[in-house]
Chain A
Amino acid sequence: MSVTCRQVEGIKVVEVTGTLDVDNSPRIRDAVLAELQSGGGRLVVDLSGVERVFSSGLSTLLTIHKAAAKDGGTVIFCGARPFFREVLRITMLDRVFHITSDPEAALDNLRAD
């Protein structure tokens, strides 16, 4: 599991890799929330390196989404693999989250705001 951050034209892009499970989720949540705070409420979370996701990982993403929305910010989740996308659909979180296929599309959306 890893969380790394890069900056593209002033917007932070956080890359999460590994498994989003009950063991890793607290560390991922804390790391991403820290980047959200220091990034001024705009964040791209690249999930293309996530191999497996469990419900605890979904709760982590929901916590991050709510934290951003509470302060008027935006988090865009991108790059989720097909099964991850299916899990988001099953749990109806695809109707709640801002989701794009890749970081470039996410950055375009944030630039347009």
Chain B
Amino acid sequence: MVQLVSLGLPSDVACLRYVNALASEVAVAGGLDAEEVDRWVLAVGEVAANAVLHGNRADPGRQVAVIFAVHGGALQVSVCDEGQGFDLVQVVVTAERRLHALETGGRGLLLARTCVDALTVDRLPGGGCCVRLTKRLGGAAKGGAM
């Protein structure tokens, strides 16, 4: 694994623009085309917003760590917060119900999952949660129906 860049930020939604800008730069440098860059930035932005708002409950005293890397021909990002973590299956089931009920909110992780090749959630032993996104470089996944 080659770590490209990492940053730590307070849980402030105003800081998310820096994560999105960095996600875009990393994807362009990795050779993704414009369409795939858009998908990657959307996925990273959704997961980072989730970490700030839900993981850390927008507490500026809590940090979010974002680590970009290349591993096995794929771009990866790990977004880690200080929250309790979540059950991905449960979140997706709830989100799909909200989607069909036309409720606002709940679309972020569904979108993120659609825009990358893999999305995994790890609860850390000492507390905290890391969401990892993986997107293949060269022949990246296309977005599709959920």
In chain B, positions 76-113 with a C-beta closer than 8 Å to chain A are 99-100, 102, 104-108, 110-111
Contact A96 B102 (CB under 8 A): yes
Write the nearest CB–CB distance from B97 to chain A, whole angstroms: 13
Contact A23 B17 (CB under 8 A): yes
C-alpha spacing A87/B111, complex, angstroms: 8
User: Across the A-B interface, how many residue pairs have beta carbons closer than 8 Å?
Assistant: 65
In the complex, the chain A residue whose C-beta lies closest to that of B146 is A90
Contact A58 B14 (CB under 8 A): no
C-alpha spacing A62/B103, complex, angstroms: 8
Total number of B residues with any Cβ neighbor in A under 8 Å: 29
Of the candidate stretches B38-46, B64-72, B116-124, B131-139, the one touching chain A is B38-46
Q: Which residues in A have their C-beta under 8 angstroms from that of B63?
A: none
Checking A55, A63, A86, A90 against B108 with a beta-carbon cut-off of 8 angstroms, the contacting residue is: A55
Q: Which residues in A have their C-beta under 8 angstroms from that of B106?
A: 55
The 9 closest A-B pairs by CB, nearest first: A59-B104, A55-B108, A55-B107, A83-B38, A23-B13, A22-B13, A22-B49, A54-B45, A62-B104
Give chain B's interface residues, CB within 8 Å of chain A. 13-14, 16-17, 20, 35, 38-39, 41-42, 45-46, 49, 53, 99-100, 102, 104-108, 110-111, 114, 143-146
